[in-house]
Amino acid sequence: MTLKGRERVRPNRAGPALRFLGGRFLGGVAVLLVVSFVLFALVYAAPGGAEQALAGPYASAEQRQAIREAHRLDDPLAAQYGQYLQSLAALDFGDSFLMREPVTVSVQRAAVVTLPLLLGAWGLALIGGIALGLLAAIRRGGAVDRWVSSTVVIGASTPMFATAILLTWLFGVRLGWFPTVGSGEG
């Protein structure tokens, strides 16, 4: 674009936003690394060691040593943490000590039940939120607007576990629409 023979440069408006988002992303990665290292170090320094937790209190010294070797628990903290980060980057979350299977298998089994619930709740919240927002906007300042605003404030300030208990009681116990445990019939 020219202005009396001089070229006018348009400011790049995407630059500051991208820099801000990039900074937030890098800050989030840094926080995750610091928190994961602190938690990793706390587990490393915990009394009794991981081998005792895995083998139990009555395991022999040979059994505990076999666990230490299998899981490389004698390596320095930095080496163990580096291996941990490499495994995470490869999406290898290891084996569940409780379930005795790969963690990804446990997550996949839970996802089959969790994803439909998540999508249903998200869809219900989206449709209900838009509908109630439109209704409150149409009747701005009226009784409907005050009721919707009050309901949103109460819902947002109520702890999630309390809401879950209330909804489980209402829809699972009282109305019998959904099971209170598992994924079977209500």
Nearest to 44 by CA among 93, 80, 86: 80
> What integer pLDDT is reported at residue 44 of this predicted model?
84
> What integer pLDDT is reported at residue 1 of this predicted model?
52
pLDDT tens, 44-99?
888 877 777 777 888 888 988 888 888 888 889 999 999 999 999 999 998 887 88
Domain ranges of the chain: 14-92, 105-174
Q: Please state, as a whole number, how many other Cβ atoms lie within 10 Å of the Cβ of residue 30.
A: 10
DSSP bridge partners of 6: 3
Residue 169 clears pLDDT 60, i.e. is over it: yes
